[in-house]
Amino acid sequence: EVQLVESGGGLVQPGGSLRLSCAASGFTFSDHYMDWVRQAPGKGLEWVGRIRNKAYSYTTEYAASVRGRFTISRDDSKNSLYLQMNSLKTEDTAVYYCNRVRHCSGGSCPDYWGQGTLVTVSS
C-alpha cells in the first residue's frame, strides 16, 4: 500500500524557516518524481514544486511564488522527500501535501497524496 506521511509543520514567525518531510512507503520511491502542493485555509490547491528522479538528475521546478525561498530535495536511501522553506511570509500559511507523480500518457501527473501538514506563519 502506497503511503505518504508529511511531518514538520508548525507555527513559525515571518522571516523564519521550516523544513517539511514526507516519508514514503509501499512503492519504489527512487523511481518517481515527487511534488509538493499547498492549500491556504479555505482556499484552493496551489502547486509548489517538483523534484525529478535520479535518471533526470534530481532537477527541480518551482512556482514563482516560492522560487528562491523554497528548496525541494530528496534522499532516496531514506525514502524521504523534503521541503526547505526560508524567508517565510504570512501568505505561506497552508496545509502542505506531498504527492507521488506517475507517468500519465505522455506527461507526469500526481496519483497518491499524503494527509498534509499545517504550516502557520504568524507573529
Partner 1 sequence: DIQMTQSPSSLSASVGDRVTITCRASQDITNYLAWFQQKPGKAPKSLIYAASSLHGGVPSKFSGSGSGTEFTLTISSLQPEDFATYYCQQYKSYPLTFGGGTKVEIK
Residue ranges in contact with partner 1 by CB under 8 A: 35, 37, 44-47, 50, 61-64, 97, 102, 104-116
Shortest separation between residue 58's beta carbon and partner 1, angstroms: 16
**Residue among 9 and 116 whose Cβ is closer to partner 1:** 116
**Residue among 11 and 104 whose Cβ is closer to partner 1:** 104
Pick from 31, 44, 51, 22: nearest CA to 114: 22
Phi first, then psi, for residue 117 (nearest 5°) are -135, 135
Q: For residues 53 and 46, what is the distance between their CA atoms, to the nearest angstrom?
A: 22
Shortest separation between residue 80's beta carbon and partner 1, angstroms: 18
**Residue among 14 and 67 whose Cβ is closer to partner 1:** 67
Q: For residues 19 and 75, what is the distance between their CA atoms, to the nearest angstrom?
A: 14
